[in-house]
Amino acid sequence: MFAGFFVAPEFIPVWLRWVQWLMSLTYAVKLILDQEFGENCGSGPGEEEGCQRVLNSVNVNSDKVWIYWLALVCIFVVLRLGALILLKRKADR
Taking the C-alpha atoms of residue 20 and residue 4, their distance in angstroms, rounded to an integer, is 8
**Burial degree of 16 (CB within 10 A; 0-12, 13-18, 19+):** exposed
Taking the C-alpha atoms of residue 49 and residue 66, their distance in angstroms, rounded to an integer, is 24
pLDDT in tens, the chain (93 residues): 777 777 777 888 889 888 888 889 999 999 999 998 888 787 777 788 888 888 888 888 999 999 999 999 999 999 999 999 999 999 999
Residue 44's pLDDT is 73
- What's at 90, amino acid-wise? K
3-class SS of residue 57? helix
pLDDT tens, residue by residue, 44-67 = 777 888 888 888 888 889 999 999
Contacts of 72 (CB under 8 A, 6+ apart): 24, 27, 28, 31
Residue 47's pLDDT is 81
Taking the C-alpha atoms of residue 58 and residue 5, their distance in angstroms, rounded to an integer, is 7
